[in-house]
Every structure is written in structure tokens, then in C-alpha cells.
Structure 1
């Protein structure tokens, strides 16, 4: 079970590490997009969400307070779904479908992150292959 949990953590955080790198290497473009969606202080928000993703992902990946790392990812995902992908505001069918897909993806990932949170907060270091036990 320990190896399965580790492989699951590796596969899960892959998307967040890649996204965080994009937040830091393409800050201006991402901030421009966030600003077009009405996000205040878009550049600061872009850098902040990049940091939130990388910290949460690395904590979960390495098993350093994995429960907190998963919770940080939930804190990133839920507002992102509603602020960046409001499909209900789109009038173009293709744009609406794309936004709905991204919204659904963010909600699904938030659900999986909540599952990781519950798993590590409950079972904690019994899962093994973690550096620390749970924070909560």
C-alpha cells in the first residue's frame, strides 16, 4: 500500500508542478489572462497561486505534512474554478464548453485533494513513505 500511495501522490502532483512552473516562467501572460477574468492584482495573484501550487504539491509529494499540502491545493483549486472558468458567463458555445471542462477539472482535482487530505489526516504516517506525519 505504501508504494501505491507514493505513486498516486507522484501522479497527482504532476499537473500542479507543471502549472506552478508556468506561473513563474510566463507570469505576464498568465497575469494578463487572470486580469481579463477580473482577478484583482493579477500579477501578485499569479505569483501567489504559483507558490501555493508548488508548496502544496511538494508537501504532498514528499510527505511533509501531506495533509496540509493537499489542503493548500484545495485552497488553490476551488477559487480558481469559479474565478477563472465561469462557463455560465460564456455565450460562445465553444468557449463555454472549454470553460466547463476546465471548471469540472478543477472541481474534480479539488475532490481528489480533499480525499488525500482526509487520507493523510486520518491514517497519517501509517501509509508510510512520508517524511513527517500529518499536521492535523
Structure 2
């Protein structure tokens, strides 16, 4: 969860730089998107870390990470080999973290067996 919380802090501490990058990538409402992304990362990360509706937190992280991979890290459009490699790394990182978050979502659906959360899951029977 440190990765998500650290990234959330980055969204708030480096808003201008991240907004400029989002604008270059063609993201509409870039500043709002950067700040909203920081909120989602913070809420999702804290939710999982603290075990408060952790299934919802994990799902929020998935919902944030998958579009980010495809909208912000389009390595297939890069012509410079170094830029292409960097974007591919970020793309794969986002999808890997989304996959891990999806696994957490599934695990938290069986919270009775885990016993590691403060609240019961919001999504049961899925």
C-alpha cells in the first residue's frame, strides 16, 4: 500500500508537473484528473491498509490503474526507443498493480476466513 499512498502524495505535491504530463497525453480536465486520481489512490490505499471496506478500496485501485495504463502510458505510440521503454515499464507496472488489486478484491470477499479487516466487505456473494 506504500506504493499507492506514495503515489497519492505525488499527485498532490507535484500537481503542476503531473498536470502538464497529462495535458501532453491529451487527457481532458488534466488538473482535475490528477487531483481526483490522488484522492482515489489515497482512499483506496488507506481502505486496504486499514481494512475498512477493503474490498471497495481494492476495486477503486483497479478502476484507477487500468485506465491510467491505457491513457497515460501508450508505449505503442512512442517513436523514441528510450521513451517507448519507459512508457512500457509504466504500462506494465499499472496493469500488474491492477491485477494484484483485483486479487485483493477477491481475497477480501472471503474476509471471514481471513479475519484481517475492521469492517465486513461491501461486496458479498460475488
Superposed displacement of residue 125, structure 1 = 3.8
**Contact 1:74/1:114 (8 A) holds in 2:** yes
CA distance in 2, matches of 1:46, 1:39: 10
CA distance in 2, matches of 1:101, 1:31: 20
Q: If each structure's helix is expressed as a fraction of its own residues, which one has the higher value? A: 1
CA offset digits 1:73-127 (Å, max 9, x no partner):
0011000000110000000111101111110010111000000001111x12431
* TM norm structure 2: 0.95
- Following TM superposition, the consecutive aligned residue runs of length 4 or more in structure 1 with deviations greater than 3 angstroms are none
Matches within 5 A, 1:53-132: 53-121=41-109, 123-132=110-119
Answering whether residue 33 of structure 2 is matched by residue 48 of structure 1, we say: no
Quick one: which of 14, 17, 42 aligns to 2:5?
17
Q: Which residue of 2 aligns with 1:6?
A: none
Q: Which residue of 2 aligns with 1:28?
A: 16
**Contact 1:125/1:134 (8 A) holds in 2:** no
For structure 1, the 5+ residue unaligned runs are: 1-12
* TM norm structure 1: 0.88
Computed over aligned residues only, the root mean square deviation of the Cα atoms, in angstroms, reads 0.8
Matched residue pairs, number?
A: 123
